[in-house]
Structure 1
Amino acid sequence: MSIGTRVKRFREAKGLSQDDLALRIDVAQSTISSIESDKNIPNSLLLSKIAKELEVDINELLNEGIQVNISNNQFSDLSSAGTINQYNPVFNMQSPEIAQSILKNQEQIAKLIEIQSKLIESLLKK
């Protein structure tokens, strides 16, 4: 199951429309639509915002084994993929560890850009 499909299922399980989710994370509805239709893959910062708003762990949006039982709005992990993958020496580009590492790097980059902007601003004032 794709990231877009998982986002859609979790969003629907929360009773949110695409517009609702888009407003809550400050993006256009078309952004949510393109993610859910797998036309675009969200970057890690956007994926983090989506996960937070849907009240799920980012790993649940990334992992293939997570499925949503929409009939009673309960989430369940129906696979043993986590156990199997820990012994797999091949890197999965959608693995939670890589996603978390990318997210941390992007957060650090954002902080550095903010510091750089403040430095440039202070230099221009002089």
Structure 2
Amino acid sequence: MAIGENIKKARKAAGISQKELADRLQVYQKDISRWENGERAPSIEVFARICRELSVSADEILELK
């Protein structure tokens, strides 16, 4: 599974909409959509914030577990 798909899975498991996650990360909802669709990848800094907001480890998103 791709990183974007794992972000989407974690976001849905947390019960958070793309808009809500975007607001929490102070990015555009379109950015969340692009990450989840694999069109782009978040920066390392934003990736760390995504993990914190969704209460998942980077290993889970990167499938290192």
Query: In the alignment, what sits opposite 2:37?
Result: 37
- Note the alpha carbon deviations across 1:73-115, whole angstroms, 9 max, x for none: xxxxxxxxx5xxxxxxxxxxxxxxxxxxxxxxxxxxxxxxxxx
Q: Secondary structure at the match of 1:30?
A: helix
Please tell me the residue identity of whatever aligns with 2:6.
Answer: R
How far, CA to CA, are the matches of 2:43 and 2:16 in structure 1? Answer: 21
Structure 1's consecutive aligned runs of 4 or more residues displaced over 6 angstroms after TM superposition are none
How far, CA to CA, are the matches of 1:26 and 1:62 in structure 2? Answer: 22
Q: CA deviation at 1:59?
A: 1.4
How far, CA to CA, are the matches of 2:37 and 2:44 in structure 1? Answer: 18
Query: In the alignment, what sits opposite 2:23?
Result: 23
Greater RCO (CA < 8 Å, at least 6 residues apart): 2
Q: Secondary structure at the match of 1:52?
A: helix
State percent identity of aligned pairs: 37
TM-score for the superposition, normalised by structure 1: 0.49
How far, CA to CA, are the matches of 1:27 and 1:59 in structure 2? Answer: 23
Q: Secondary structure at the match of 1:40?
A: coil
- Note the alpha carbon deviations across 1:28-66, whole angstroms, 9 max, x for none: 0000000000000112111101000000111111116xx
Query: In the alignment, what sits opposite 2:59?
Result: 59
Please tell me the residue identity of whatever aligns with 1:30.
Answer: K
Q: Flag structure 1 segments of 5+ consecutive residues without an equivalent.
A: 65-81, 83-126
What's the RMSD between the two structures over aligned residues? Answer: 1.1
Q: Secondary structure at the match of 1:35?
A: helix
Please tell me the residue identity of whatever aligns with 1:19.
Answer: K
Larger-gyration structure (1/2): 1
How far, CA to CA, are the matches of 2:27 and 2:41 in structure 1? Answer: 14
The structure with more strand, counted as a fraction of residues: 1
Q: Flag structure 2 segments of 5+ consecutive residues without an equivalent.
A: none
